Amino acid sequence: MLRRKTVLLSLISLVPFCALAQSPTVNQQQRLIALEKMWDQAQLLRDAAALERLVSPGFINTEWDGTVSDRAKFLADIRDPLYKPITISIHDLSVKLYGSTAIVVGVYHADGRYHDRPYDHVGRFTDTWILIGGSWQCVASHASLLNTR
């Protein structure tokens, strides 16, 4: 587990140097997709420290059930020992760039247990990222449930 966290932190630090020879737009899109995948790995590993570097201090999260939380609550939920993810994956990603702002849309699958209740969700997410000092930070995330299994 510690090795995975070390690898994850190493990957996060390398993202700015990836794909240097590509166009700026493609490079930024690939960086954002990599960050989204790192986000999922951090959630799966319950690595709140890695997520803390990805979400801005003013982060707002809207969950599939309509619950809204700020950064502190979001990170506390990740640290909660009753949060036991088994699978977190994303696909069908689309990145739209608007200067120093980006919108990432995709489909997610998450299953596990939370407060001793099983969950198995498939949904769509929209994340809003802002480029701050050369680093992308997520300022808002929204999930809509497509179905439960």
Averaged in consecutive runs of 10 residues, what is the pLDDT profile of the chain (149 residues)?
51 48 78 97 97 97 95 96 96 97 98 94 97 96 87
Q: Could you tell me the CA-to-CA distances from 40 to 100, 107, 133 in Å, in that order?
A: 23, 12, 23
Number of compact structural domains in the chain: 1
Q: Find the CATH number of the domain harbouring 73.
A: 3.10.450.50
Range(s) of the domain holding residue 39: 2-148
Residues across the chain: 149
Strand bridging mode 135-148 / 117-132: antiparallel
Q: Could you give the CA distance from residue 78 to residue 45 in angstroms, rounded to a whole number?
A: 9
- 118 DSSP β-pair partners: 113
Which of 66, 37, 36, 48 is closest to 138 using CA atoms? 36
The model's pTM is: 0.82
